[in-house]
Amino acid sequence: MNLTGAIRRLRPKRPRPPRGTPAGTIRGVQSPTQTAVDVLAYGSAGGGANYVELANPDVAKIQELLSSYKVVWVNITGLTDVERLRRIGGLFNLHPLALEDCTNLYQRPKIEDYGHYYYIVMRMPDVHRKDTELEQFSLFFGKGFVLSIQEHSGDCFDPIRARIRGGKTSLMEHGSDYLASAMLDAVIDDFFPHIERIADKLETLETEIMTRGQKENVQIIYAMRQELLLIRRAIWPLRDALAIMYREQSPLVEANTRFYFRDCYDHTVQIIDALESYRDLVSSMMEIYLSSISYRLNDIMRTLTVISTLFMPLNLIAGIYGMNFHPDASPWNMPELSWYYGYPFALGLMGLLVLVLLTLFRWRGWLKT
């Protein structure tokens, strides 16, 4: 587990516009991902193809699709080409402040109602990574259009594209609001595999702490805690925004589609409940680890104390017979020094004392681990 990477994801460097920059200024993002525009239109109004898919069309072609198809989904990948983003934003009459938020990364997840369209900004897991790496994802939807903007290539929308290409799907029967709810649901559901991975890791880690309690586990516990906090920061404000959105009446959202937004809200609640449970588990694991360290330290100190206690009477005997009061000077001066078996007697006495003390310690339960 890369602890430094976890901290860097939690506290990423947040580039801010220069001081004095007018509000609504769209700034490009330095990224190796060049701007690409993919358009998927479906629900032909004139009896034409059931859907059409184009790569990097111009604004005029997108305008033509808007008049010919029920729903037009424009997906922009990469934020380096500011001019193209501005032209497409002008086509849908998007507010400059909303476009500015798209290019100012690390926005707080939110949902804003601009009258003729909704603007949603949230965090989306990177599908190319197994760990939790999030990118900013922006979504606009109004009557007949959905505009999605993401930092990098690769997303969780391939099943939605496959459903549209297949033709027989409920997406064909609804408008852009239903497509937006399906995309929101896909992004939110993409957090579940990461939460399950964290849960599996915590289960394994809990066993290791109880059995071995290695020092490296502290770093893993801390990294898990940071990862949970990262997901929580992405989901918590989105839950509050979805709660407001599915309750309010809007001409942009059909009555039946509101239930799908409520389903997205329910999924965010499930994620937050799981996050809170795992955060408590992480805290408990840290307490267990610290308790195990304290217990092992106490066990070591108890062993050392027993050894020291065993040697105390031995040191006393050795100290007494080390005074060297010669018995020839007085009959009271250690007559044992003249004994034929004096040395074996002293060793036997020492061994007997050790056995007596060990028996006493075992009887008192002090030798149990």
Higher pLDDT, 45 or 351: 351
Residue 11, token pair as written in the block: 């506290």
Residues 6+ apart with CB under 8 A from 169: 163
Cβ count near 61 (within 10 Å): 13
Q: For residue 87, what pLDDT band results from cuts at 50, 70 and 90?
A: very high
Sheet holding 69-77, edge to edge: 51-55, 36-44, 69-77, 145-150, 134-142, 117-125, 110-113
Percent of the chain whose pLDDT exceeds 90? 41
Give tens-digit pLDDT for 173-185: 899 999 999 999 9
Place of tokens 């100190």: 301
pLDDT reported for residue 31: 64
pLDDT reported for residue 7: 45
The domain spans of the chain are: 3-290, 323-369
Place of tokens 């297949």: 166
pLDDT reported for residue 213: 60
- Looking from the CA of 321 toward its CB, the CA atoms found within 13 Å total 17
* Burial class for 137, CB neighbours closer than 10 Å (0-12, 13-18, 19+): buried
The whole-model pTM stands at: 0.76
Q: Is the pLDDT of residue 272 over 70?
A: yes
Query: Looking at the domain covering 3-290, what would its CATH class be?
Result: alpha beta
* Mean pLDDT for all residues in the chain: 85
Give the residue-averaged pLDDT of 187-213. Answer: 85
Give tens-digit pLDDT for 108-134: 999 999 999 999 999 999 877 777 789
pLDDT reported for residue 21: 57
